[in-house]
Amino acid sequence: MNLQTKYMNLDLKNPIIAGASPLTTSVESILRLEDAGAAAVVMHSLFEEQINHESLALDHFLYANNESYAEALDFLPETGSFNNIDAQQHIDELSRIKKSVDIPVIASINGVSSGGWIKYVKRFEEAGADAIELNITYIPTDLNMKPDAVEQLYVDVVKDVCSSCSLPVSVKMNPYFSAPANMAYQLVEAGASGLVLFDNPVRVDIDLENLSPIQRANLTYSSRLSETLRWNSILYNKLDASLCASTGVHEYEDVLKALMSGANAVQMASALLQDGEGHITRVLQDLERWMEEKEYSSVEQMIGSISLEHTSNRDAYERSSYMQALQSYKR
Ligand SMILES: Cc1cc2nc3c(=O)[nH]c(=O)nc-3n(C[C@H](O)[C@H](O)[C@H](O)COP(=O)(O)O)c2cc1C
C-alpha cells in the first residue's frame, strides 16, 4: 500500500500532517507525533506581535482606526499583553526540532503587516525549516476598508514573505472572502506554493460575569469538514499549488474525503489535542484497511477523484446541489 503524497516540495510518507497547535511547540511533543506516524508537522506559530521589531506597521493596522473608541480597544489585545515568547527562543526550538526529527518541519508565521517581522522568515530558513506556513488572520473592522484593500493586504504579505526566503510558502486561508477562488488564485500568483483550506477562527464570546469580551481557541469535529471539501473540490487542478485540507479532519473517513475532494495532504489539530498523538497511528491503520478493502493501491489514485474537475459549469452545479439539498429534506 503506497500512502505517499507530495505537498508543495515535500515528499510525505503519508498524507497526515500535524497542524499548528500546542502539540507542535517542543521537540518532545513533536517526537511523539513522529513516532505516531505524522508525515510532517507545522510548528505552532510565531506571531508578528512576538517579534521585537522597530516597525510600527502592525500598530497601524490594529489601532489606527480605533483610537477614539475606548470600547473598541477592549476587544483588541494590547501588543504588550501577549505572552512575549522571545522570537529567538522560537528559532532555537525550531533548530533543535530539526536536529531531532526526520520528518519535514514546516515553520508557521502569523502576521498581517508588511513590516520588519518578515525578516524572521529568513531565520526560519537558516534554522532548517523545510517550508513556511503563513497565517494572515486579519479582521477588517473599518467600515471604509473596501474588500480589494483587504485582499491586497493579504497579497502584499504573501509577496513579501515569498521574496524573503527560498522555501516554499503555504498560506493558511480563511473561507470568508467574498470570492475565495479568486483570492486563492491571487495568493498563488503572489508566490504561494500551497494553500491550507482552512484556518478555524477563534470563538468570540462574552463573559457575563466579568462583562467582558473573550476569544477562545476552538476545537472542531468532523462535521466541520464541509468547507474544506467544497473548496478543495472547486480548486483541484485549477492552481499551480498544492492543497491541504484543514478544519474537521478527525477520522480516517475525513482523510479519505479530503483526498478525494482534491487535497494533497491533510492537517489535524483538534483530533490530536482531544485523543493524543497516538490517534494518528489509529487513523493510518484504518486508512490502510479501507484502501485494501476497496482495492486502492495508492493515495495518489484517490486525490481529486471526487472533485469538480470535470464539471463544466461549477456555479450551476453548486447552485443546483444547494437547491436539491434544501428541497429534498424530509422530516
Ligand atoms: C489550541 C489551538 C492552538 C492553535 N494554534 C495555532 C497556531 O499557532 N497557528 C495556526 O496557524 N493555527 C493554530 N491553530 C489552528 C489549527 O492549526 C487548525 O487550523 C484548526 O484547529 C482547525 O483544524 P482542526 O479541525 O484539525 O482542529 C490552533 C488551534 C488550537 C485548537
The mean pLDDT value for 246-270 works out to 98
Residue with the larger pLDDT of the pair 320 and 306: 306
What span, in angstroms and rounded, lies between the C-alpha atoms of 180 and 152?
A: 14
Q: Is 299 left (phi over 0), alpha (psi -120 to 50) or beta?
A: alpha
Least confident stretch, 28-32, 63-67, 169-173:
63-67
Confidence at residue 312, expressed as pLDDT on a 0 to 100 scale: 76
Which range, of 57-66, 88-97, 167-176, averages the lowest pLDDT? 57-66
Burial readout 149-169 (b: 16 or more C-beta within 10 A, e: otherwise)? ebbebbbebbbbbbebbebbb
Instruction: Please check the confidence at residue 24 and state whether its pLDDT lies above 90.
Output: yes
pLDDT greater than 70 at residue 75: no
What does the pLDDT read at residue 321?
Answer: 81
Give the chain's mean pLDDT: 89
Choice among 49-53, 124-128, 205-209 with the minimum mean pLDDT: 49-53
Residue 155: its pLDDT value, please? 97
Q: Which of 200, 246, 257, 267 to mutate to test the pocket of ligand 1 (most atoms within 8 A of CB)?
A: 200
DSSP, res 298: B
Residue with the smallest CA separation from ligand 1 atom 9 is 45
Q: What does the alpha-carbon distance between residue 294 and residue 77 come to, in Å, rounded to a whole number?
A: 51
Mean pLDDT for 77-101 is: 75
- Which residue's CA is the closest to the ligand 1 atom numbered 19? 199
Pairing of strands 212-216, 5-7: unpaired
Give the ligand 1 atom nearest the CA of 44.
Answer: 8
Q: Could you tell me the distance, in angstroms and rounded to a whole number, from the CA of residue 181 to the centre of ligand 1?
A: 23
Q: Would you place residue 115 in the very low, low, confident or very high pLDDT band (cuts 50, 70, 90)?
A: confident
Question: How much of the chain, in percent, has pLDDT values that exceed 70?
Answer: 89
Q: How far is CA 183 from the centre of its chain?
A: 15
**Residue 282 pLDDT > 50:** yes
Q: Indicate whether 211 pLDDT > 80.
A: yes
Residue 78 pLDDT exceeds 80: no
The ligand 1 atom nearest the CA atom of 135? 11
Is the pLDDT confidence value at 222 over 90? yes
The pick from 16, 21, 23 for probing ligand 1's pocket by mutation, whose C-beta has the most ligand atoms within 8 angstroms, reads 21
Q: What are the pLDDT digits (tens) for 189-209?
A: 999 999 999 999 888 999 999
pLDDT attached to residue 65 = 52
Site residues for ligand 1, CB cut-off 6 Å: 19-22, 44-45, 108, 110, 135, 172, 199-200, 217, 219-220, 246-249, 268-271, 273
Q: Is the pLDDT of residue 71 over 80?
A: no
Residue 106, pLDDT score: 98
234 has pLDDT over 90: yes
E strand intervals along the chain: 5-7, 10-12, 16-18, 40-42, 46-47, 105-110, 131-135, 169-173, 194-197, 203-207, 212-216, 242-245, 265-268
Q: Output the CA 99–ligand 1 centroid distance in Å.
A: 24
- The pLDDT tens digits of the residues spanning 131-173 come to 999 999 899 999 999 999 999 999 999 999 999 999 999 999 9
Per the CB < 8 A criterion, the answer to whether 48 and 7 are in contact is no
Ligand 1 atom nearest the C-alpha of 271 is 26
Instruction: Kindly indicate the confidence band of residue 63, based on its pLDDT and cuts at 50, 70 and 90.
Output: low
- Please calculate the CA angle 167-269-122 and round it to the nearest 5 degrees: 20
CA of 98 to the centre of ligand 1 (A): 21
* Topology of the domain comprising 5-327: TIM Barrel (3.20.20)
Residue nearest to atom 4 of ligand 1 (CA): 21
Which atom of ligand 1 approaches the CA of 267 most closely? 26
